[in-house]
Amino acid sequence: MLQTYPHPCPGLRLGHGLGLGLRLRRRLGPPPICDLLERGQATTTSSTVVKKQVNYIIKGTQCKNPIICSFRSSSWPKESTNKHYVFRKIRKLLRKNAVPAISVQDNESLSSTSSNWTSIIKDHLNSLYQFSRPHTVIGTIIGITSVSLLPVEAFVDLSPRFFLGVLQALVPSVLMNIYVVGLNQLFDVEIDKVNKPYLPLASGKFSMATGIIIVSASLLLSLAMGIMSESPPLLAALLISCALGSVYSIELPFLRWKKHAFLAASCILIVRAMVVQLAFFVHIQKFVLGKPIFIPRSLVFATAFMCFFSAVIALFKDIPDVEGDRDYGIQSFSVSLGQEKVFWLCVTLLFFAYGAAAGVGTFSPSLLPIKLVTIVGHSIIAGNLLIQALSVDLTSKISITSFYMFIWKLFYAEYFLIPFVR
């Protein structure tokens, strides 16, 4: 009877006779990784597990029993004492059975890193959103879409070519819009620290270099798309917007037109009232639908109405910014005449415009339902304007700014009514 000796792997007991050789032949080798984990000798990283298992196996091969040693010398491969052989067996074992354990701290660290990246991306996207001045971008999109519908005379005109032509106009126009408002922020950083401290450049969320990159990329992409469109009115609209947006903001001799109330208002009026209506109408009518140029009543109405509305936006936008404009020498109408006078001047101009629009609807040769949409729609908007105007606190910058954004909503609403004027 041979005495049994303990083996590093639980469950392996050395017997006598032929059974000893068969058991050693089958079972000698690296102990399962699960046994090491149960014995507490495996750590949370796979590299440490490998090291411990190597030591375990090498120590296990140092036979202390003469019977086992004699059997190994005759039957066990000589390369079993080679450390590289042991590593190969361990790697094979790990591929089959081992799953590296990850500590709770590692999980928390990965989760924290992921959350930080998500937060950073959201912050940058939000800053880009604020940098683009979204209310102006929305106005551009709605305005161009509305004007593009004016040349449509039949349902068949609403073809894929039409929608592609609208998209062809929208994308470069939005990019040009970002260039114009971004350029203004680059030259107005100090003023915006007083008037609009939440903007990305004024608040420090964007560096000047970041602002320059966004503005430059928007300009180049816009002009490149305008050239590729092969539509002269679309390219002309982009070039005029670029020129007026530049002279409005850039601080150079004979430029910086925003310092002068009349010139500043003229820049906004020309782009919003004339360029948007005329250029994009011709773009769709002639270069998308392939029709001869014809000026309908709806286009005349849209241009005239938006002259009033653009003048109101140009005047009203400076009412909340009196403090910063006065400190930095911007002679806006609000600085010269006072906030209250300019406020009620804007409200009066809008009332006159809505009254005229209702009159156009009344004498329109269109069908009665279309006439009613024009008359009732403008009457409801005018009534809502009066209610909101009477509730404004002219001593509160927050209240004035809120009403200014309300005017932009009226601007959007008007573009929904314009296609009904026929």
Name the residue ranges covered by the structural domains of the chain: 34-39+49-97, 130-294, 296-328+335-421
- pLDDT band per the 50, 70, 90 thresholds, residue 85: low
Q: Rounded to whole angstroms, how far apart are CA atoms 273 and 414?
A: 13
In the prediction, which pLDDT does 59 show? Answer: 46
Helices 339-362 + 397-417 axis angle, to 10: 20
Q: Rounded to whole angstroms, how far apart are CA atoms 32 and 35?
A: 5
Whether 302 has a pLDDT exceeding 90, the answer reads: yes
Q: Find which of 13-27, 210-224, 350-364 is predicted with most confidence, using mean pLDDT.
A: 210-224
In the prediction, which pLDDT does 389 show? Answer: 95
Q: Using one digit for the tens of pLDDT, what is the confidence trace for 32-82? A: 444 444 444 444 444 444 444 444 444 444 454 444 444 444 444 444 445
Tokens 């816009």 belong to 222
SS3 content of the chain, % helix, strand, coil (to 5): 75, 0, 25
Q: Using one digit for the tens of pLDDT, what is the confidence trace for 90-132? A: 666 656 554 555 555 556 666 667 778 888 888 889 999 999 9
**CATH architecture designation of domain 296-328+335-421:** Up-down Bundle (1.20)
Average pLDDT over residues 288-301: 93
Average pLDDT over residues 124-142: 95
Question: Quick check: helix, strand or coil at residue 49?
Answer: helix
User: Which CATH superfamily, name and number, covers 130-294?
Assistant: UbiA prenyltransferase (1.10.357.140)
In the prediction, which pLDDT does 54 show? Answer: 45
In the prediction, which pLDDT does 25 show? Answer: 47
Average pLDDT over residues 353-363: 91
Q: Counting every residue, how long is the chain?
A: 422
In the prediction, which pLDDT does 332 show? Answer: 86
Virtual torsion, Cα 78, 82, 86, 87, nearest 10 deg = -150
**Complete DSSP assignment for 69-91:** HHHHHHHS-GGGG-HHHHHHHHH
Whether 175 has a pLDDT exceeding 90, the answer reads: yes
- pTM, whole model, 2 decimals? 0.72
In the prediction, which pLDDT does 87 show? Answer: 60
Neighbours of 324 (CB within 10 A): 19
